Amino acid sequence: MTDFITWCDYLGTFAFAISGIRLASAKQFDWFGAYVVGIVTAVGGGTIRDVLLNATPFWMEQPSYFIITGLALIFVIIFRKHLIHLNNTFFIFDAIGLGLFVIVGVVKTLDYGFPMWVAIVMGTITGSFGGMMRDILINEEPLIFRKDVYALACVAGGLIYCGCLTLGLPLSLSQFVSALSILVIRVVSVKYHIGVPVLKGEE
């Protein structure tokens, strides 16, 4: 079980890093700059969460996130002409990672003694602020607030976890169900082009 979670974590980190590195390459960043954008995308959300919780940032405890981002950079350098054919694979990895990251964020926040609504906020920050920081670094308006259901899928996952606990489901089942829900919401929203409505501007 722990192994399964670790692998999902690695896949998600890889997919998040790839998304940062690809967008950085489109902006002519150098290799090192692309690496930084990749690592910020992968660990940025969890870092903000940990700073707000006053916890030691999770990536300072073991170097695997830096290693995986390095592998992602090498992957992009070698396979850059073929990346576009892997878009669906990356999308699934990204959605798996998102589901895991959000629920990890929710659980950690509850462990720190905060109420459920703070945990849902923290889960959403964990899942979506890495992508937001990526877009700030490459000087674009954050994509996650203008496309598909992304940040809202994080909120939904947190609410579903809350619902599972209220129903008395065991912890690990609740976590699995809510992470899976996020994955399903992502897949369905992208497949059927379901988005949050755009906020209409003033005349």
For binding to a second copy (CB under 8 A), which residues are involved?
A: 21-22, 24-34, 36-37, 47, 51-52, 54, 56-57, 60, 63, 66, 73, 76-77, 80-81, 83-84, 114, 117-118, 121, 132, 136-142, 144-147, 151-152, 155, 195-203
CA proximity to 62, closest of 13, 24, 110, 18: 13
What are the CA-CA distances from residue 114 to residues 12, 26, 118, 159, 195 (Å)?
A: 26, 40, 6, 15, 31
What are the CA-CA distances from residue 166 to residues 34, 117, 155, 161 (Å)?
A: 43, 14, 17, 9
Give the CA diameter of the chain. Answer: 54
Instruction: Pick between residue 2 and residue 139 the one whose CB is nearest to a second copy.
Output: 139
111-114 long-range contacts, Cβ below 8 Å, gap at least 24? 112/53, 112/55, 114/53
In whole angstroms, the minimum distance from the beta carbon of 170 to a second copy comes to 28
Instruction: Pick between residue 25 and residue 126 the one whose CB is nearest to a second copy.
Output: 25
Instruction: Pick between residue 87 and residue 172 the one whose CB is nearest to a second copy.
Output: 87
In whole angstroms, the minimum distance from the beta carbon of 7 to a second copy comes to 23
Instruction: Pick between residue 10 and residue 145 the one whose CB is nearest to a second copy.
Output: 145
